[in-house]
Amino acid sequence: MNNGIEKLLFILEKSGKNYDLLKIRQAYRMAAELHEGQFRNSGEAYISHPIAVAEIAAGLGLDTDSICAALLHDTVEDCAEKIDLDEIKRRFGPVVAELVDGLTKMVNIPFADKEEQSVENLRKMLLAMSRDIRVIFIKLCDRLHNMRTLDAKPEHKRRITALETMNVYAPLAHRLGMQRIKHELENLSLSYLDPIGYNEVYNDIERKYGINRNFLEKARGQIADKLTEYNIHFQLEGRVKSVYSIYKKMYNQNKSFDEIYDFYALRIIVDTELECYTALGIIHDMFRSMPGRFKDYISTPKPNLYRSLHTTVIGRDGIPFEVQIRTWDMHHIAEYGIAAHWKYKSGEESGGDIDKKLEWVANLVETEEDTHDPDEFMRALKIDIFQDETFVFTPKGDVIALPQGSTVIDFAYNIHSQVGNKMIGGKINGMIVPIDRVLQNGEIVEIITSGQSRGPSRDWLKIVKTSEAKNKIRQWFKKEKRTENIAVGRAELDRELKHYGVAYTEAQYNTIMANLAKRLGLHEVEDLYNTIGYGGMSVAKISGKLRDAFDAVVTPEPPQEPLRDVSQVQLAPKVHHAKHFTGSVIVDGVDGCQVKFAKCCNPLPGDKLIAFVTKGFGISVHKADCINIAQKRAAGEDETRFKEAQWVDEYVSGQQNRTFEAVLHITAVNSYVLIAEITMALADMRVSILQMNSQNKNDSEVNITMTVGCKNLEHLYSIQARLRSIRDVLRVTRS
């Protein structure tokens, strides 16, 4: 028997847990046979890697199936001609097979590029992780051993692996509370990504720790004596911050090494929660505490289950140091995170509290289902897992953790999808705030809902931070607004096709869309339109595939033969178009004049027009009944400067997709939901608000002046009608 497996079996036996050692031996034998003749870059037999991964997994206290999966995790990927998942399932059961499947990369599927393949492998792993969290535990063990042995790889591969570890796996370990693995992954990654910076910080640590070693030992002895005096059973550990944490603080805060004040730390581990607070009182009695540096993660744990008291005090030598105080249970969770809590007993479900802490995995899976965009998936991953968090409170005092930068809308959807869908406003610390207000730590947030709400706005997709909120908004539009989504999606694709400048028939258009939908894995063309319409896919991201589908169907007309007798060619007179030519207005029977639209009356397609030749600013177009035009004529202005003008028909009918400015004056009953209802109504119509001002008319009424974008006069009438239908709106007039 290989010495490596004997060491693993010794670790498992020593743990005192009820491992099925026979099953683990069988898994080892199969892995050893399948990897026979395979070697790592270091020259070691390949089987040494799965054994090392299994040892790390055993250190986390993972169960028999996890150890078997660790031993077999590379077999299907690297030995596909010898083994498949069905055989593993037959020999070791469905759980081991599912774990191995979750850890197996997709190597035989064609991808556009390496980046897409990397994202899809990550999606596959997270999907498996949502079904069984042990997948990521084993993957982190696998990555940790690969990082420990990364020296054997070529330099460019070392950097790629280190960068992926820093960007994906270290943050995942942090999100799961597995601090020991996280710190080692970060330090190892930094040593390959910036070896000079790593060595500089490492040497500075050695120098500073050597100078002040007596200080830390002295403080440790003083605290130990005091805790003993109070009959507290404890363990006291001294440490310095990791190389990466100091490097990151220096980089992010632009500090020198000597400006890092929480360099030293002492950790006190006691038996009970009460003793934690007793020890805290003793520390604050012995040393002067630094204001704003106390954190109570016992009463308010972090989402990854971390619990501890943190305080920074100034030692008697004038040197600041941090003290962490926790119980043994808290310490075990701090080191191993959710892995310390997970249970794998037959027929026993994990606690609901753990399930709640892992809701972010389910949210990511929903992102995977609702978006076909790898970039959007990575954006959601980086926001939900990698960013620092903001802690806010519900009115009942419950703590809600959200990524930094989250808004009131994100909070509403975190509570429940129906709360978000019916939201019309929000309060922070009792004060009404805009729904796009960014949340700050410690705020009390309340959501105002209404049964009359017409649901979320598409603009919310641009505001929200979390994938959970974005998913739920998309789901609402996907379910409630399919007809509208299809129209929006088709319009966006049509707009993209116009950029090609090549004519096509309706039959060609249908073929293009059918081919594009098939290429994107969608069954129907309407599914393609719907997906774009509700935000599950952006036209910008599929523009390359759209162009390929277009070129495969539409062939541009070949250029015409050049005329042989150039003397017969009639050259059209050269017309110098103005830089801002719009082509929307005909002036004195001439099309293509340079015009600008007067701000005093904001003419819209459908209005009767008159043009006025300004001095030095070209032609200004006004409404025919504009008061400024009437005043100029009354003042005896030269009549030759007034010209007949009319709209080009395509603008009046709305066939052109340009928008014009219109100013509306609204009188309404003042209420806290008024602005929200107005903006939601316009968002439903996809009308842009360019400017808005409000002023109280009296105690009960308010005047609102707003500039909106609309296509023509008929569009303006529909906007006015929609606004008049709002309960508190009294009058809507064009200003």
Q: Which are the catalytic amino acids? A: 77-78
Per-residue 3-state assignment (H helix, E strand, C coil) for 141-188: HHHHHHHHCHHHCCHHHHHHHHHHHHHHHHHHHHHCCCHHHHHHHHHH
Is residue 332 within 8 A of residue 340, CB to CB? The reply is yes
**In DSSP terms, which residues pair with 621 in a beta bridge?**
597, 611
- DSSP, res 45: B
Counts of helices then strands in the chain (DSSP H, E): 31, 21
Nearest to 675 by CA among 649, 697, 694: 694
Round to whole Å and give the CA distance between 5 and 224.
41
The torsion defined by the Cα of 624, 629, 633 and 639, in degrees rounded to 10, comes to -70
Q: Over the range 659-696, which residues count as b (16 or more CB within 10 Å of their CB) and which as e?
A: bbbbbbebebebeebbbbbbbbbbbbeebeeeebebee
- Per the document, the length of the chain is 735
Question: Three-state DSSP class for 691?
Answer: strand
Question: What span, in angstroms and rounded, lies between the C-alpha atoms of 537 and 521?
Answer: 12
Buried b (16+ CB within 10 A) or exposed e, 376-415: bbbebbebbbebebbbbbeeeeeebbbbeebbbbbbbbbe
Beta bridge partners, 666, equal 704, 732
DSSP 617: S
**Closest to 302 measured CA to CA, from 177, 442, 469, 130:** 177
The pair of structure tokens assigned to 711 is: 């296509």
Residue 725 CB: number of other CB atoms within 10 A? 10
Residues 6 or more apart whose Cβ sits within 8 Å of residue 527: 517
With H, G, I as helix, E, B as strand and everything else as coil, classify residue 216: helix
Q: Report the alpha-carbon distance of residue 672 to residue 426 in Å, rounded.
A: 10
Alpha carbons 441 and 132: distance in angstroms, whole number: 32
CA angle 7, 8, 9 (to 5 degrees): 90
Neighbours of 54 (CB within 10 A): 31
User: 391: which strand partners?
Assistant: 401
